[in-house]
Amino acid sequence: MPTVNFEQNTAIDLYKQISTAEAAKFLGVTPRKLEQMRQHGNGPIYVKVSPKCVRYRIKELVDFQDANLKKHTLEA
């Protein structure tokens, strides 16, 4: 299973599923903002475990951040 090592020498399971609240904290947004992004289709990919249970894989959150990197404020 792929992992990422951060400065504290701890391995992170990229396929671990985390809650909306945890994913929002990871991305630096509120849980409500992440829910809105999900509803509008402009947020990270998520796993719908059941009708009322949504989870995010850490890999998808990192991929979402990478896809939204910008060099200039005029970039769309």
CB 61 within 8 A of CB 23: yes
pLDDT, tens digit, for every residue of 15-68?
999 999 999 999 999 999 999 999 999 999 999 999 999 999 999 999 999 999
Is the pLDDT reported for residue 5 higher than 70? no
Higher pLDDT, residue 1 or 41: 41
Q: From CA 51, how far away is CA 29, in angstroms rounded? A: 23
Q: What is the pLDDT of residue 4?
A: 53
Q: What is the pLDDT of residue 9?
A: 56
The HSE-up count of residue 5 (CA atoms within 13 Å, CB side) is: 3
Q: What is the pLDDT of residue 8?
A: 60
Phi and psi, residue 37, nearest 5°: -60, -40
Q: From CA 61, how far away is CA 4, in angstroms rounded? A: 13
